[in-house]
């Protein structure tokens, strides 16, 4: 009878040697079926070995599936710690992220350890810690470092002994997180000359990302089987972490670039106080705001959004904002003309893209704003006696029609009132229908505490916290932090 072959599991190399515990079962011959019928011993022992192997692969498959569902780097690090603790039989641990290329981000995350506990561990000299030796690239640490009885080691650093006793751990197992090196390219055909061919290309070592440490409450160390399983899991985890690390770096770069394209500071104009708030999406969106001093002590206020996400949307946002600034300087007192020029430029230079925009010509001395909008949500007027949306004309976004034009409206805020401009991302991130999203925004603005109404920044913060609580899930099940929408708020309070 042919023995069944274990199925191939995604992310697991089925060609690796069997774990040690399966070999031991063959050597000792402890199978009940083998003892009952010695003639069938070889087949029964083989089935036992295969059953143990399949069980291990099934466990690894479930753990790697859970890891593959993580989308953020910190979440993946925590899942790696939890899975590793289950595989090596530990209760606590920590992972240190410190990429070897020095580009960061550096981080330390604990499992069953508070922030203060991690702080105590960080006071131990780095050279006396196994993860420190791994991160410093010292030899002999590639296969993991086991410390089965810390307190019994004679050469243990005194500070390490003190921290271990304080936190209540007696043993540790440390493993490097190193993804597999890339496949070497095939060498070219050697030239048909008498000269010897060049040496074949070889792949360098994989990029070390960090190290994971699991802590035991009593003297212990993982068995050969456990080391085999955690080694397989760590190899897959390092690959997944490397992808998330690259994504995290890309998002950080996108955030930096988009922030550099926005005003570094808001102008100070007598009679009005300004504040801006922004939440960047994980994909890099094209929302922007601007506040530009204009002649005659006037002020140009603008918010807008470019369709799309990623580097192209950020670049288009920068071009559009710069163009709007130029048009505002030339004819800012006529917001309709400013947006008409912007629409013509967009249609001629980027015909495949559309954008929404709201521009206001603000005269603080008169407490007056002349507004024109292109497919944008209406501003919100927040005061002690009223909280209402400004009635603006319904108009298409820029780039959607052959010729854009819409009438402007005038807003006359009372002393102490705040005009809040915002992008559509504030509404979209709620996941609610449009009418409910507007109702939520209105309720948040009406509920601004009296003590915060003198500060436009505090008003914007309160609205943002109330409409989009950190980590809250929308009605569609999407976290606000994971949304593809940027959010921009620009608040102007009149004195």
pLDDT tens digit string along 120-177? 999 999 988 999 989 988 776 677 899 999 988 888 999 999 999 999 999 999 999 9
Q: Which of 456, 447, 446 is nearest to 489 (CA)?
A: 456
pLDDT digit string (tens) for 199-237? 333 333 468 899 999 999 999 999 999 999 999 999 999
Q: What is the pLDDT of residue 486?
A: 86
Q: What is the pLDDT of residue 449?
A: 94
Domain assignment present for 37: yes
Of 50, 69, 88, which marks where a domain is finished?
69
- Whether residues 245 and 267 share a domain: the answer is no
Domain assignment present for 285: yes
- Whether residues 437 and 465 share a domain: the answer is yes
In sign, the C-alpha dihedral spanning 151, 153, 154, 157 is: negative
Provide the domain limits for residue 155. 71-182+206-256
| Strands (DSSP E) found in 83-170 | 92-97, 107-111, 145-147
Say what percent of the chain tops pLDDT 90. 55
Q: What's the farthest any 2 CA atoms get from each other in the chain?
A: 104
Question: The domain that contains 483 carries what CATH number?
Answer: 3.60.40.10
Whether 42 has a pLDDT exceeding 90, the answer reads no
- Whether residues 82 and 53 share a domain: the answer is no
- Whether residues 210 and 326 share a domain: the answer is no
- Whether residues 279 and 403 share a domain: the answer is yes
User: How many Cα neighbours within 13 Å face the side chain of 9?
Assistant: 22
Q: What is the pLDDT of residue 454?
A: 94
Apex 17 CA angle, 16 and 19, nearest 5: 115
Whether 18 has a pLDDT exceeding 80, the answer reads no
Apex 345 CA angle, 488 and 429, nearest 5: 20
Q: What is the pLDDT of residue 147?
A: 93
Structure tokens at 478: 């999407």
pLDDT digit string (tens) for 267-321? 999 999 999 999 887 666 789 999 999 999 999 999 999 988 778 888 889 999 9
pLDDT digit string (tens) for 336-370? 999 999 999 998 888 888 999 999 999 999 999 99
- Whether residues 177 and 288 share a domain: the answer is no
**pLDDT range class, residue 22, cuts 50, 70, 90:** very low
Domain assignment present for 188: no
CA distance 492 to 495: 10
- Whether residues 126 and 233 share a domain: the answer is yes
Of 256, 288, 321, which marks where a domain is finished?
256
Domain assignment present for 478: yes
- Whether residues 356 and 409 share a domain: the answer is yes
Q: What is the pLDDT of residue 478?
A: 42
Ordered strands of the 92-97 beta sheet: 107-111, 92-97, 210-216, 171-177, 145-147
Identify which has the larger pLDDT, 14 or 397.
397
Domain assignment present for 346: yes
Domain assignment present for 8: no
Domain assignment present for 192: no
Of 221, 237, 256, which marks where a domain is finished?
256
- Whether residues 54 and 100 share a domain: the answer is no
Q: Which of 456, 326, 322, 452 is nearest to 381 (CA)?
A: 456
- Whether residues 158 and 291 share a domain: the answer is no
Question: The domain that contains 150 carries what CATH number?
Answer: 3.30.450.40
Neighbouring C-beta atoms of residue 17, cutoff 10 Å: 9
- Whether residues 363 and 334 share a domain: the answer is yes
Are the CB atoms for 85 and 79 separated by under 8 Å?
A: no
Total domain count, the chain: 3
Q: What is the pLDDT of residue 144?
A: 86
Average pLDDT over residues 246-265: 84
- Whether residues 246 and 380 share a domain: the answer is no
Domain assignment present for 171: yes
Q: Is the pTM of this model over 0.85?
A: no
């Amino acid at each position: 009878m042919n023995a069944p072959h274990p199925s191939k599991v995604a992310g697991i190399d089925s060609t690796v040697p069997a774990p040690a515990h399966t070999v031991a079962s063959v050597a000792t011959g402890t199978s009940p079926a083998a003892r009952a019928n010695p003639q069938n011993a070889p087949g029964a022992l083989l089935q036992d070995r295969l059953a143990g192997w399949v069980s291990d692969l099934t466990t690894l498959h479930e753990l790697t599936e859970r890891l593959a569902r993580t989308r953020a780097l910190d979440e993946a690090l925590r899942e790696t710690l939890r899975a590793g603790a289950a595989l090596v039989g530990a209760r606590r641990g920590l992972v240190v992220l410190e990429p070897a290329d020095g580009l960061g981000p550096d981080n330390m995350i604990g499992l069953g350890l508070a922030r203060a506990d991690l702080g105590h561990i960080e006071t131990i000299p780095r050279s006396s810690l196994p993860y420190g030796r791994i991160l410093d690239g010292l030899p002999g640490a590639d296969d993991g470092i086991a410390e089965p009885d810390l307190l019994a080691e004679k050469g243990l650093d005194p500070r390490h002994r003190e921290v271990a006793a304080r936190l209540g751990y007696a043993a540790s197992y440390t493993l490097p997180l190193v993804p597999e090196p890339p496949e070497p390219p095939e060498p070219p055909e050697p030239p048909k000359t008498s000269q010897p061919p060049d040496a074949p290309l070889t792949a360098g070592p994989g990029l070390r990302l960090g190290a994971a440490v699991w802590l035991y409450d009593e003297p212990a160390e993982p068995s050969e089987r456990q080391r085999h399983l955690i080694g397989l899991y760590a190899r897959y985890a390092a690959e997944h972490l490397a992808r998330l690390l690259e994504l995290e770096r890309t998002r950080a770069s996108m955030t930096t670039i988009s922030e550099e394209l926005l005003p570094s500071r808001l102008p100070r104009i007598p009679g009005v106080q300004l504040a801006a708030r922004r939440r960047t999406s994980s994909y890099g969106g094209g929302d922007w705001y601007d506040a530009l001093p204009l002649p005659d002590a006037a002020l140009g206020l603008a918010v807008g959004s470019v369709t799309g996400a990623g580097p192209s949307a950020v670049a288009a946002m920068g071009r559009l904002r710069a163009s709007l600034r130029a048009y505002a300087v030339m004819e800012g007192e006529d917001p309709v003309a400013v947006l008409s020029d912007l629409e013509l430029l967009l249609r001629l230079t980027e015909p495949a893209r559309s954008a929404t925009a709201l521009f206001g010509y603000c005269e603080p001395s008169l407490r007056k704003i002349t507004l024109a909008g292109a497919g944008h949500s209406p501003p919100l007027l927040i005061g002690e006696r009223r909280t209402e949306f400004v009635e603006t004309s319904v108009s298409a976004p820029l780039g959607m029609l052959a010729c854009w034009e819409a009438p402007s409206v005038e807003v006359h805020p009372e002393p102490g009132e705040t005009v809040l401009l915002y992008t559509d991302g504030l509404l979209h991130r709620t996941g609610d229908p449009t009418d409910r999203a507007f109702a939520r925004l209105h309720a948040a603005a009406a509920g601004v505490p009296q003590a915060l109404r003198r500060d436009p920044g505090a008003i914007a913060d309160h609205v943002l916290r109330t409409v989009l609580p950190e980590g809250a899930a929308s009605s569609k099940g999407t976290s606000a932090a994971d949304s593809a929408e940027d959010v921009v708020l620009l608040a102007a309070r009149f004195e």
